[in-house]
A and B are shown apart, each in its own frame.
Chain A
Amino acid sequence: MQCRIESSGNIITAYLDGEIDHHTAKDVREKIDAQIMAQSPELLVLDFRDVTFMDSSGIGLVMGRYKQMQLLSGQLHISNLSPHIKKVMQLAGMDRLATIKN
Chain B
Amino acid sequence: MKILNQFKMELLARSSNESFSRVAVAAFVSQLDPTIEEISDIKTAVSEAVTNCIVHAYKEQLGYIYITVRILQGNKVSIKIKDKGCGIADIKQAMEPLFTTAGGERAGLGFAVMQSFMDKIYVKSQVGKGTTVIFHKQLKSR
Chain A positions near chain B (C-beta within 8 angstroms): 19, 21-23, 25, 29, 53-57, 59-61, 63-64, 83-84, 87-88, 91-92
* A34 to B: closest C-beta gap in Å: 16
Asked whether, in the complex, the Cβ of A60 is within 8 Å of the Cβ of B18, the reply is: no
What are the residues of chain B within 8 A of A19 when measuring CB–CB? 19
What are the residues of chain B within 8 A of A59 when measuring CB–CB? 107, 109
| Contact segment of B58-66, B86-94, B110-118, B132-140 | B110-118
What are the residues of chain A within 8 A of B112 when measuring CB–CB? 56, 91-92
Count of CB-CB pairs between chains A and B under 8 Å: 63
Contact partner, B51, options A29, A57, A64, A84, Cβ 8 Å = A57
Whole-angstrom distance between the alpha carbons of A25 and B54 in the complex?
A: 15
Determine the residue in chain B with the shortest Cβ distance to A25.
Answer: B105
The yes or no answer to B44 lying at the interface (CB within 8 A) is yes
State whether A61 and B105 are in contact (beta carbons under 8 Å apart), knowing that A55-B51, A84-B37, A91-B116 are contacts in the complex.
yes
Interface residues on chain B, size class = 20 to 34
What are the residues of chain A within 8 A of B18 when measuring CB–CB? 21-23
Asked whether, in the complex, the Cβ of A88 is within 8 Å of the Cβ of B105, the reply is: no
The yes or no answer to B106 lying at the interface (CB within 8 A) is yes
* A20 to B: closest C-beta gap in Å: 10
State whether A22 and B15 are in contact (beta carbons under 8 Å apart), knowing that A55-B113, A84-B37, A92-B109 are contacts in the complex.
yes
State whether A84 and B40 are in contact (beta carbons under 8 Å apart), knowing that A63-B105, A63-B107 are contacts in the complex.
yes
Known: A22-B18, A64-B105; 10 extra A-B contacts, CB below 8 A, are A21-B19, A22-B15, A23-B15, A55-B47, A55-B51, A57-B105, A57-B107, A61-B105, A63-B107, A88-B44
